[in-house]
Amino acid sequence: MTNVVVPAEGLTSLTAAELADKIHAREVTSREVTQAFLDRIAETNPELNSFLHVGQEEALAAADAVDKALDAGEKPASALAGVPLALKDLLVTTDAPTTAASKMLEGYMSPYDATVTKRLREAGIPILGKTNLDEFAMGSSNENSAFGPVHNPYDTERTPGGSGGGTAAALASGQAPLGIGTDTGGSIRQPAALTNTVGVKPTYGTVSRYGLIAAASSLDQAGPCGRTVLDTALLHEVIAGHDAFDATSVDKPAAPVVEAAREGANGDLSGVKVGLIKQFERDGWQDGVMENYHAAVEQLREQGAEIVEVDCPHFDEALAAYYLIMPCEVSSNLARFDGMRYGLRAGDDGSHSAEQVMSQSRAEGFGPEVKRRIMLGTYALSVGYYDAYYLQAQRVRTLVAQDFARAFEQVDVLVSPTTPTTAFKLGEKAEDPMAMYNFDLCTLPLNLAGLCGMSVPSGMAADTNLPTGLQIMAPAFQDDRLYKVGAAYEAKRQN
Ligand code: GLN
């Protein structure tokens, strides 16, 4: 086992807020900062495999542009101008390949930037490269990547989580101070918990999905990742906001997340009601995880929060509903990757029909988990099964949303462990899809209801000495509550 976590000193050990201060005060240039992270990537990526592509020249050019503007006396383009970032390889970029970690898209160059990418550029944030993930964001361990798994910096024999393991490992190892992930059923929060980092799934519709390669369109949402709650809030502010290119984008002012993170840092939670979900106190979950969770709740109470137990009876069915709805949407979204409209083309030697070429392209381009979901989804949507599976799952989805709504009549936020155990060994669940799916138990109800959630580090588990995360959940458009409670908890955490 090897440990490759953030170095104790040097530029790569600083938070994004600290780096921004230094860059804006001209104590250090954005080029120096960006180069330090590029060096760290060069040193550690062979072991971690967190980056699929490093854009050295492009990142340094973006850094130089920030330095030039600041030297000319211009105001920073954003609070994070000059601080570099790791971008999940599911968001399209014009200056780097976008693969979704699939052979289907190997080498694909997008003709346009995702709205999130565009906002990062406008904010003066250099993009270090594209991070590894489970193929098309399907998975919980990063082992479904066509380009090999990411290794957890806390123990390189273990998973960093998935699907956003690349971004999480980059943050935890000091390869990047900021990152972007996407969360369909937990892919931002779950890897954050396994790597001692912070990850936020914003409210559905508040961050543009334009240029985010779709897995399940009614669940997908891009979000900010960082090493502190404040850094994550600063990034959240950059990427959130209405976008006319995304039909599900909500035209509302963004929640005041930075203000909330700063307010929370004083540690005072008096007047805040925190709900504990009965269904997330289960036998069989790892002792070390539950100990840290109970310690976190105790601490929130000491900080002035009122703790209330709430009942969400339909959460027991949420996993089954998610793993029907998600594959159904996948089967439709991934139909475009057929070697004709998009993606790898195989068997096109003049002797095969168009149908044969499409079939062979999909057989060669997609990995086993993606195929499993396409088949499951196609089956569940077919005549005669639609009512029994898809429609039933949609009914459960409504019941889960109603459970949340009832809970939020009583409390301001809900908390739970982010994952039932700490990071498992690579290979341990690879042959058992159900065990893998079960790992998402705590995170996926939120996506079904379209709400927002955060995972914030809650200390090392006593039994495995690996990171754990506290999940905080809030109602739609109240993302600021996550930051207030998250920052307060982070400020006072003892363990
Ligand atoms: N692990 C879940 C899945 O495989 C969630 C993935 C995600 O959030 N992208 O579907």
Tens digits of residue pLDDT in 463-479: 999 999 999 999 999 99
H or E element at residue 468: strand 467-474
Helix (H, G, I), strand (E, B) or coil at 282: coil
Helix (H, G, I), strand (E, B) or coil at 164: coil
For residue 433, which of 160, 152, 140 has the smallest C-alpha distance? Answer: 140
For residue 223, which of 210, 242, 204 has the smallest C-alpha distance? Answer: 204
Catalytically annotated residue among 50, 102, 145, 163 = 163
**Band of pLDDT at residue 226, cut at 50, 70 and 90:** very high
**Band of pLDDT at residue 180, cut at 50, 70 and 90:** very high
Mean pLDDT of the chain: 97
- List b or e across 294-319, with b for residues whose CB sees 16 or more CB atoms inside 10 angstroms: ebbbebbeebebeeeebebebbebbb
Is 141's C-beta closer than 6 angstroms to any atom of ligand 1? no
Is 369's C-beta closer than 6 angstroms to any atom of ligand 1? no
By most ligand atoms within 8 Å of CB, the mutation choice from 89, 90, 184, 374 for ligand 1 is 184
By most ligand atoms within 8 Å of CB, the mutation choice from 131, 187, 322 for ligand 1 is 187
Residue 434 burial (C-beta neighbours within 10 Å; 0-12, 13-18, 19+): exposed
**Band of pLDDT at residue 210, cut at 50, 70 and 90:** very high
**Domain, as residue range, for 165:** 1-494
Domain count along the chain: 1
By most ligand atoms within 8 Å of CB, the mutation choice from 132, 140, 333 for ligand 1 is 140
Residue 494 burial (C-beta neighbours within 10 Å; 0-12, 13-18, 19+): exposed
Q: How far is the CA of 416 from the centre of ligand 1 (A)?
A: 18
Q: Is 273 a catalytic residue?
A: no
* Atom in ligand 1 nearest the alpha carbon of residue 322: 10
Is 186's C-beta closer than 6 angstroms to any atom of ligand 1? yes
Is 140's C-beta closer than 6 angstroms to any atom of ligand 1? yes
Which CA distances in Å does 324 have to 123, 138, 386, 390, 458? 38, 13, 11, 6, 32
Q: How far is the CA of 192 from the centre of ligand 1 (A)?
A: 14
> Would you say residue 190 has pLDDT above 90?
yes
Is 333's C-beta closer than 6 angstroms to any atom of ligand 1? no
DSSP-derived secondary structure letter, 309:
E
Q: Is 88 a catalytic residue?
A: yes
Is 187's C-beta closer than 6 angstroms to any atom of ligand 1? yes
Q: What is the mean pLDDT of residues 186-201?
A: 98
> Would you say residue 123 has pLDDT above 80?
yes
Can you give the CATH number for the domain in which 62 is found?
3.90.1300.10
Q: How far is the CA of 433 from the centre of ligand 1 (A)?
A: 12
pLDDT of residue 28: 98
CB 277 within 8 A of CB 414: yes
Is 326's C-beta closer than 6 angstroms to any atom of ligand 1? yes
Is 138's C-beta closer than 6 angstroms to any atom of ligand 1? yes
Is 174's C-beta closer than 6 angstroms to any atom of ligand 1? no
* Atom in ligand 1 nearest the alpha carbon of residue 162: 1
CA 308 distance to own-chain centroid? 28
Protein residue with its CA nearest to atom 5 in ligand 1: 185
pLDDT of residue 442: 97
Residue 414 dihedral angles phi and psi, to the nearest 5°: -115, 150
Give the position of tokens 């106190």. 281
**Band of pLDDT at residue 159, cut at 50, 70 and 90:** very high
Catalytically annotated residue among 22, 30, 78, 88 = 88
pLDDT of residue 282: 82
Catalytically annotated residue among 78, 187, 208, 458 = 187
pLDDT of residue 404: 98
**Band of pLDDT at residue 2, cut at 50, 70 and 90:** confident
Q: Is 163 a catalytic residue?
A: yes
**Band of pLDDT at residue 156, cut at 50, 70 and 90:** very high
pLDDT of residue 284: 85
Is 185's C-beta closer than 6 angstroms to any atom of ligand 1? yes
> Would you say residue 375 has pLDDT above 80?
yes
Q: How far is the CA of 319 from the centre of ligand 1 (A)?
A: 11
Query: What is the amino acid identity at position 422?
Result: T
Q: What is the mean pLDDT of residues 345-357?
A: 93
Is 184's C-beta closer than 6 angstroms to any atom of ligand 1? yes
Where does 306-367 have alpha helices with state H?
315-333, 354-365
Per residue in 281-311, pLDDT tens?
Answer: 888 899 999 999 999 999 999 999 999 999 9
pLDDT of residue 271: 97
Distance CA 397, CA 170 (A): 34
Distance CA 481, CA 468 (A): 21
pTM over 0.95: yes
pLDDT of residue 478: 98
Q: What is the mean pLDDT of residues 160-168?
A: 98
